[in-house]
Amino acid sequence: MAEKATSDASEADQYESESRMSPSGKIVYQAILMEGNEELARSSSALFWSGLAAGLSMGFSMIAEALLTGYLPDSHWRPLVAKFGYSVGFLIVILGRQQLFTENTLTPILPLLRRLNVSTFLNVLRLWAVVLTANLVGAVLFALAAMKINVFDEVMRNQIVAIGHDAIDGSFGSIFAKGVFAGWLIALMVWLLPFAESARIWVIIIITYFVGLARFTHVIAGAVETFAVAISGTEPWVKVFSNFLLPAVLGNILGGVMLVAMLNHAQIVAGERGEDL
């Protein structure tokens, strides 16, 4: 009886220890892989409507930042507070399970790296094309509403345009480089979320706040801002697409795919091979 009690106590202690352990990288990988397979199985219409919702929702990052900037005194510390507004759209999109292009530089890439066949590659391209298009349509609709419908006063619209000018300011190379860091961080955020549990909100806020404060280039958040600039007539649409959207999307893809998806896939695959040996 004593041995059985000791055994039960040992099993209880082991269960308690395991329950307190952080999930291994392999478990996180499997969770994201499963999510990626589910996303690739979704129809184009379902992806489009979800992506459209995400593009519209990201507009609230611009509005929240503009509101905070407008109400805060013009001081050197103002961006430290105002950039918390940048997190609002991401919170809506991620907690609402809407399709955001930069998240998809990680989740569907894992099934592709796992299978490496033409059909999966084409399916990933389909998902990317549908989600990116839908995100941009949502972004331009939100920018039109903010600038053309009488929702915000002239002071607020001027603040929105100033944020857009700040986003588009820079060379092709600098916007691309900032896009790499943004894609890297957003994909890392996706990697952290599956088992973040009650800390999910803080993970989203901290990482996206850092992206905004560092002025890293996120293609969809920046699209709403730069579309507002083009709609105001202060910058041509050609410049928005060639000087901002193109380098931003290329940078986000490189940061998400190369620096997060491939590296994390490589470490898991290397671990599986080590176990086989």
- Position 195 scores a pLDDT of 77
**Quick check: is 269 in a domain?**
yes
Rounded Cα distance, 222 and 61, in Å: 10
**Quick check: is 234 in a domain?**
yes
**Quick check: is 20 in a domain?**
no
- Position 208 scores a pLDDT of 96
**Quick check: is 181 in a domain?**
yes
Number of Cβ within 10 Å of residue 86's Cβ equals: 24
- Position 257 scores a pLDDT of 85
* CATH assignment at residue 252: 1.20.1080.10
**Quick check: is 233 in a domain?**
yes
Of 256, 263, 267, nearest to 108 (Cα)? 256
Number of Cβ within 10 Å of residue 273's Cβ equals: 9
Query: Ramachandran region of residue 170, left (φ > 0), alpha (ψ -120 to 50) or beta?
Result: left
Range of the domain at 49: 26-276
Rounded Cα distance, 218 and 207, in Å: 12
Q: At what angle do helices 59-71 and 154-168 cross, to 10 degrees?
A: 110
Domain count, the chain: 1
- Position 9 scores a pLDDT of 47
**pLDDT per residue rounded down to tens, the chain (277 residues):** 555 555 554 555 444 444 444 556 678 888 888 888 999 999 999 999 999 999 999 999 999 999 999 899 989 999 999 999 999 999 999 999 999 998 887 888 888 988 889 999 999 999 999 999 999 999 999 999 999 998 888 889 999 999 999 989 889 999 999 999 999 999 889 888 887 778 899 999 999 999 999 999 999 999 999 999 999 999 999 999 999 999 999 999 999 888 777 877 777 766 565 555 5
**Quick check: is 2 in a domain?**
no
Rounded Cα distance, 206 and 217, in Å: 16
- Position 268 scores a pLDDT of 75
**Quick check: is 90 in a domain?**
yes
Radius of gyration of the chain (CA): 21
**Quick check: is 16 in a domain?**
no
Cβ-in-10-Å burial (0-12, 13-18, 19+) of 158 comes to: middle
Q: What is the pLDDT of residues 104-126, one digit of tens each?
A: 878 888 889 888 899 999 999 99
